[in-house]
Amino acid sequence: MKKISKILIALALIAASLSVAMPVPVSAQSINNCPAGTDPLLCPETGGEAKIQERVGNVLRAVYAWVGVIAVVVIVISGIRYMTSQGNAETVKKAKAGIMYAVIGLIIVLAAFAITELILSAL
C-alpha cells in the first residue's frame, strides 16, 4: 500500500510540474511595446502585473486540483482497504485513519482554494 501511495504522489508531482512548466505564448506586439531588455511580464504597457497574477493563480489552481485528486484517490484506496479488511481490526483502523486524513486534507485544500480565489479577486 505504501508503494502505491508513493507512486501516486510521484506521478501527481510530475504531472503538476509539467502543467506548471508549460510555456505561455507571448505575442510579438507585447514584446514590441516594452523597452528593450524588459521582461514582457513586467512591462506596464502590457498589463504585466495582471499577467503575473494570472500565472500565479493558474499555478495555484493546478496544485490544488492535483492535491484534490490525490486526496480522492487516497479515499478510494482506503475505502477498498476497509471493504477488504475482513474484520481485521488493525487493517480497519488503518483504513479509517486514511479516509479521515484524506478528508481533512481535502477540506484544507478547499479552504486554501477559497482563500486564494478571494485574495486574487481582490487584487
Residue 78: what pLDDT? Answer: 93
Sign of CA dihedral 43, 45, 46, 49: positive
pTM for the full predicted model: 0.58
pLDDT tops 60 at residue 8: no
11, 19 Cβ separation under 8 angstroms: no
pLDDT tops 60 at residue 30: no
Taking the C-alpha atoms of residue 16 and residue 67, their distance in angstroms, rounded to an integer, is 9
pLDDT tops 90 at residue 47: no
pLDDT digits (tens, 9 = 90+) for 57-99: 888 889 999 999 999 999 999 999 999 999 899 999 999 999 9
Give the whole-number percent of the chain exceeding pLDDT 90: 41
In order of 14, 46, 56, 90, 105, the CA distances from 83 in angstroms are 30, 56, 41, 13, 22
Alpha helices by DSSP H, listed for 1-123, are: 2-20, 28-32, 48-83, 89-122
**More confidently predicted of 117 and 22:** 117
pLDDT digits (tens, 9 = 90+) for 49-66: 567 778 888 888 899 999
Residue 66: what pLDDT? Answer: 92
Q: Is 74 exposed, middle or buried (0-12, 13-18, 19+ CB in 10 A)?
A: buried
pLDDT band at 122 (very low <50, low <70, confident <90, very high): confident
Give me the chain's average pLDDT, please: 76
